[in-house]
Amino acid sequence: MMIYVNGTFCSREEAKISVFDHGLLYGDGVFEGIRIYNGRIFKLDEHLQRLKESAQSIALKLPWRGKELQKLTVETVRRSGLREGYIRLVVTRGVGNLGLNPFRCPEPGLIIIVDTIALYPREMYEHGMAVITVATQRTGAETLSPRVKSLNYLNNIMAKIEAINGGVEEAIMLNRFGFVAECTGDNIFIVKNGSVLTPPAHMGALEGITRNTVLALAAAAGRDTREQMLTRHELFCADECFLTGTAAEVVPVTKIDGRVIGDGAPGPITRELMHAYSELTRTSGTPVPA
């Protein structure tokens, strides 16, 4: 593990931030989760672009110019010595006072954590996972754009608690109109009659990097791919279902709210996309010097 905090590389025990940082006080900031595969940082440029857009959307000015954030991320990974791992890149509003006013935080904070991660047990990738729909709704686009990857994840956490209390690892969140948005930390896809379908961002879905990568892989394989409004009915009647996310990668879903999906096993298109995604991650990305 290696951590960069506001200009200093340090260990887990040494890493510290101010109790007056608005990222801590109010969840005021943005973040990215990024994967390291085979000594390469996967989709680093895309993640940094999304980070910048998230920051722009919440009026958080980033002082790092050009390739500076990229260089700091690569250097933190290099110092960690990990060739397989996970990066959590966090930008906070910075140190201010106990008031809400973000303009009293003169300088944003930067944290880069490099560690390992395993989101779900291996058997779920082999046999599929069960998910449930929960009462906690996805934050609506009229409140905060779902394209902003904000530090304030409380509604996702409440949905996660419902999932765990319901005996599963993940939960489907609906928007206020009753349409499927996403899961607590992953995008959701279904396969119906050979078409690969996922909810559009305006329904409350994060425009995930892995989501977009899988859509591109499916299109390259000649599959019909569409962003489409989905209800629970479409999920229950799907031929296949799977989730995508940087930490999750591509994981099949075989049961939703007690309904068996398809034949109860990961479907052929899901497996095809899992394999294509795995192959892509091994051969592309920003190299990290030894």
Residues 146 and 256 in one domain: yes
Q: What is the mean pLDDT of residues 208-234?
A: 98
Q: What is the mean pLDDT of residues 29-35?
A: 98
> What would the mean pLDDT of 207-215 be, rounded to a whole number?
98
Picking from 89, 115, 141, the residue at the C-terminal end of a domain is 115
Q: What pLDDT is attached to residue 46?
A: 97
Q: Which two tokens stand for residue 213?
A: 């990568």
Q: Based on the domain organization, do 30 and 83 belong to the same domain?
A: yes
CB atoms within 10 A of CB 187: 25
State the pLDDT at residue 205: 95
* pLDDT at 289 (0 to 100): 95
pLDDT over threshold 90, residue 290: no
What pLDDT score was predicted for residue 140? 87
Catalytic residue among 16, 67, 71, 149: 149
Cβ–Cβ < 8 Å for 205, 140: no
Distances (CA, A) of 163 to 104, 167, 251, 289: 38, 6, 17, 41
Per-residue pLDDT of 74-104, as tens digits, reads 999 999 999 999 999 999 999 999 999 999 9
Start-to-end C-alpha separation, the chain: 16
Band of residue 24 on the pLDDT scale cut at 50, 70, 90: very high
Average pLDDT across the chain, whole number: 97
| pLDDT, position 194 | 97
Same domain membership, residue 132 and residue 105? no
Of 115, 134, 159, the position where a domain reaches its end is 115
Return phi, psi of residue 190, to 5°. Answer: -130, 160
| pLDDT at 142 exceeding the cut of 90 | no
CA angle 92, 98, 101 (to 5 degrees): 65
Identify the band that residue 120 occupies on the pLDDT scale cut at 50, 70 and 90: very high
Residues 143, 52, single domain; the answer is: no
Provide the pLDDT for residue 243: 98
pLDDT of residue 23: 98
pLDDT digits 0-9 by tens, 147-174: 999 999 999 999 999 999 999 999 999 9
Identify the domain boundary among 115, 140, 169. Answer: 115
pLDDT above 90 covers a percentage of the chain that reads 96
Starting at the earlier edge strand, list the strands of the sheet with 85-92.
8-10, 2-5, 109-115, 85-92, 29-37, 40-41, 286-287
State the average pLDDT over residues 7-34. Answer: 97
Q: Same structural domain for residues 69 and 126?
A: no
Whether residue 225 sits in one domain with residue 200 = yes
* Average pLDDT estimate for 38-52: 97
- Name the residue range of residue 155's domain: 122-282
When pLDDT is averaged across residues 41-48 and rounded to a whole number, the result is 98
Q: Is residue 287 included in any domain, yes or no?
A: no
The structural domain count of the chain equals 2
Which letter, b or e, does each residue of 3-18 get, where b requires 16 or more Cβ atoms within 10 Å of its Cβ? bbbbeebeeeeebebe
Q: Is 149 a catalytic residue?
A: yes
pLDDT of residue 66: 87
- Burial level of 166, CB count in 10 A (0-12/13-18/19+)? middle
Domain shared by 198 and 257, yes or no: yes
Does one domain contain both 126 and 250?
yes
Helices 44-57 and 68-80 meet at what angle, rounded to 10? 130
Name the band, by pLDDT with cuts 50, 70 and 90, for residue 130.
very high
How large is the average pLDDT for residues 49-64? 97
Q: Identify the pLDDT of residue 270.
A: 98
Q: Is position 289 within any domain?
A: no
How do beta strands 129-133 and 195-198 pair? Answer: unpaired
* Closest C-alpha to 52, from 77, 30, 22: 30
Q: What is the pLDDT of residue 218?
A: 98
Q: In this structure, what CATH number is given to the domain that contains residue 84? A: 3.30.470.10
